[in-house]
Structure 1
Amino acid sequence: MFGSTCWNIPLAVGSRKLDAGTVPQVAESDDLELLRSAVHDLADHLIASDANSPDHTGEVPTPALDALNEMGLLTPSDIDVGGQGIPSHLQWCVIGEELGKVDAGTAFDVLNGAYAAIIVDRCGTAAQRELLRAVRAVEGSTRGTLLYFEGFGRSTVELSTTLDTHDGKVGVSGRKNAVAHLADSRYGVVVGRQGAETAAAVLSSESLTSLRVVRDDTAAGKMGARSAPTAVVELVDAEAELLPRGGIELSKVIAGFRIAIAAIAIGVGEAAVQYAAAYAASREAFGQRIADFQGVSFPLVEASLKIDSARLLIADLAIALDGDTYPNRLDEQVSAAVAAAGQAGMAATVAAVNTLGGHGYLTDHPMERLYRDASVLAAVDFDPLLTDWSVT
């Protein structure tokens, strides 16, 4: 079902005019546009149209999960272990962006579980990869969870979690943030350091439930992305099964995961700008549309330019990751792209809230939710000291 594709990036985005809520987009290849349309329609019909929105219920609607599972997006794997193929990193970025436009929590939940499966598929033995077939065989939309984030935009070389071998067994120690669906995940994949190398290991469902929960984000009052129940957990010599293939292969998958999560922020920002642009085009003051005032339209256009800039950074990295070579200074490039996306998402939601004025803080409009979602995404994987997006 899934295969390699490309994103046709024009050299110039072209002129912009704020009209009827339409913000120009970069061009895409036909197959990528089809994927974007399919995910958008699914999210629009099964998530956005849900009377009890995921932001209020704190969970992804079951019909949406079932549909995503049928598409092979919850536990993706290659065909030889019963999967439908694994989307490219670029395709995952599109999936994250489109789901993020509707609900950031759903997008985070899906990508977190998907990349846990991808790591097992890419880095595991034949026997370990069979775990993915077993998970899909369980009735319902079951999935795993990825334990990666440690805060402050850490790259793989900066992780403090350790994987130590004792008497042939692997013990994992460290603290992980934003661990999704800890209680009902079928397995977990934890990423850390084994000596000087990046390594990953599989945690059984029993090992997951035995981890110490330092903070339940939902119980503590989660600001945004509420439909993805997350927690901060501590691992103390937790028993795990090492995935043998680490190094470059694992680093590329983790890089893909980080930019796919960053793409959610792009989707959140895009949704905010589109909504605010439509509002400005329909709202009148002093005898004309407020969109015709430069003080209203210029901040939205500037926000849209930042979104496109961050999207291009992410697309360029995703294309490189989908290639056969190892991108130069990968961790630095990923952190720069993540920073760009986080800042673009925040800037877009702030501009959108300001466009609506006091109405932007009311739940009658999606602005306040989008602002909260962008804030949470920026906090999950963002180095506040990184303000220079360029890596030379």
Structure 2
Amino acid sequence: MTGRTPQGAPPGTAEATEVRDLLSLARELADKELSPLVDEFEARGSFPRDLLRTLGRVGLLGLPYPVEYGGGGQRYEVYLSVLETLASRWLAVAQSVNIHVLSCYPLARWGSPEQRSRWLPDMLGGDLLGANCISEPAAGSDVGAIACAARLDEAAGVYVVDGTKAWTSHAGVADYYNVFCRTGGEGVRGLSVLLAPADTPGVSPQRPERKMGVQSSPTASVVLDAARVSADRLIGRRGKGFLIAAGLFDRGRLGIASCAVGLAQAALEYATAYARHRRQFDRPITDFQGVAFLLADMSTEVAAARALVREAARALDEGQPDGVVTAMAARAKLFATDVAMRATTDAVQVLGAYGYVRDHPVERWMREAKLLQIIEGTNQIQRVVIARSL
């Protein structure tokens, strides 16, 4: 993570000063609050809920949302810079921030004024932690295949929801779930979104998945068995759930890309520091081209990935057409996560045998990088999105 002011805020302006202060706060929190705890929490597989509350109290969970509801009123580019900083110290926490910020999007963008006033302040402040229930056992990137169904009981004023959601991050620790469900019709036209409280009878998170990495952030299926969700918790118009999902995908892919840049930057810095101090044949191993060129390539790719992410974020902030933003977000996610996988793998290689043991964090970063190539649409799906945009 660099300390540069994101493009669009001229040096010396009040906005630039605010952004610098915000990034400085993020770095301080990352160094003092995240770094000392990551090994312990990852080893135990414990979710750092209190830490998320702390990030909420200082305003990092509502950065891209309106000030009037308790948000930070920041551009998405600024928010992604903060996310990159957090990911460079603890990916699972950065992921949790990204997950929660995304869970606020349906209400913030599509909710009614009354709904926003009622729920959004507690969400943006971190008092309520959220999750999105989109994927299902037989429906991943194909949102039109969602089978979870919601039947409106008009007399009772509730939707009765049945189905199973898969791969839900924050399952079991979230206070609310955005449930993408079928309220009528086939394909993407029949989807809607319900903001379901986690304590709704019939909403049952299952056993957390046993994952390769990111152990401190739970992922599980959520079963909805005749769950009764109040009709006033329908977000946006009935049957417009796909539009909400599309906006989530663009923002989610940019969030993952920023996390990938942060992880790759951490791997680069760690491998470089190690190589400067590791001596073989009476000289530091950075004197050998085999290592020096590896680090040079890592540095170049990390910088390129960051540039792609920032470019896509600016397109989103400027309100460019959805199709343009979608393609740019897909390119950023594809490239940045592939860079993170290469950078962490190369960092393990630079450390040699030491890179393969848990005394150093690079082996964990390598396992975590793999996840980023899969979630928010696999990188094969990103290539499909990009190809269709050409």
Q: TM-score, normalised by structure 1?
A: 0.79
Q: Identify unmatched segments of 5+ residues in structure 1.
A: 10-28
Matched residues, number: 364
Amino acid corresponding to residue 7 of structure 1 in structure 2: Q
- Give the structure 1 partner of residue 68 of structure 2: 80
2:376 maps to a residue whose letter is: D
Query: Secondary structure, in 3 states, of the residue corresponding to 2:222?
Result: strand
**Structure 1 counterpart of 2:321, which letter?**
Y
Among the aligned pairs, what percent are the same residue? 27
Residue 44 (str. 1) matches residue 31 (str. 2): yes
Q: Secondary structure at the match of 2:322?
A: coil
State the match for 1:244 in structure 2.
236
SS in 1 for 2:221: strand
Q: Pick from 132, 135, 139: which aligns with 1:146? A: 132
Residue-by-residue CA offset, 1:77-106 (whole Å, 9 max, x unaligned): 53333x143433222321221111111111
- Equivalent in the alignment of 1:205: 198
Distance 1:89 1:364 in 2: 36
Q: 1:215 to 1:50 in 2, by over 3 A?
A: closer
Question: How far off its partner does 1:53 sit?
Answer: 3.0
Alignment partner of 2:213 out of 220, 224, 231: 224
Structure 2: segments with no counterpart, 5+ residues? 10-15
Q: Which amino acid aligns with 1:144?
A: G
- Matches for 1:330-369 after TM superposition, within 5 Å: 330-369=325-364
Contact 1:151–1:379 (CA under 8 A) maintained in structure 2: no
User: In structure 2, the residue corresponding to 1:324 is in which secondary structure?
Assistant: coil
How do residues 1-392 of structure 1 correspond to structure 2 at under 5 angstroms? 6-7=6-7, 31-50=18-37, 53-61=40-48, 64-74=51-61, 77-81=65-69, 83-132=70-119, 135=122, 141-149=127-135, 160=146, 164=150, 166-168=152-154, 170=159, 175-191=164-180, 196-197=188-189, 199-207=192-200, 210-213=202-205, 215-217=207-209, 220=210, 222-235=211-224, 238-240=227-229, 241-244=233-236, 246=240, 251-385=246-380, 392=390
Q: Residue 180 and residue 253 in structure 1: after superposition, are their counterparts in 2 closer, same or farther (change >3 A)?
A: closer
1:279-314 per-position Cα deviation (integer Å, ceiling 9, x unaligned): 111111122221121211222222332222222222
The C-alpha deviation readout for 1:318-343, integer Å capped at 9, x for no partner, is 11111233233544443332222221
Greater relative contact order (CA < 8 Å, ≥ 6 in sequence):
1
What amino acid is aligned across from residue 56 of structure 2 in structure 1? Answer: N
Q: Distance in 1 between matches of 2:251 and 2:228?
A: 27
Per the TM alignment, residue 136 of structure 1 is displaced from its structure 2 partner at its CA by 5.8
In 2, the alpha carbon distance for the partners of 1:163 and 1:93 equals 34
- Maintained 8 Å contact 2:153/2:160: no
RMSD over aligned Cα, in angstroms?
3.5
Q: Deviations over 1:207-256 (max 9, x none)?
A: 3x733545522xx3x22112211213344665443211657576334411
Offset of residue 149 of structure 1? 4.7
TM-superposed deviation, 1:193: 6.6
The 1:387/1:296 distance shift into structure 2, 3 A limit, reads farther
8 Å contact from structure 2 (residues 330, 382) kept in 1:
no
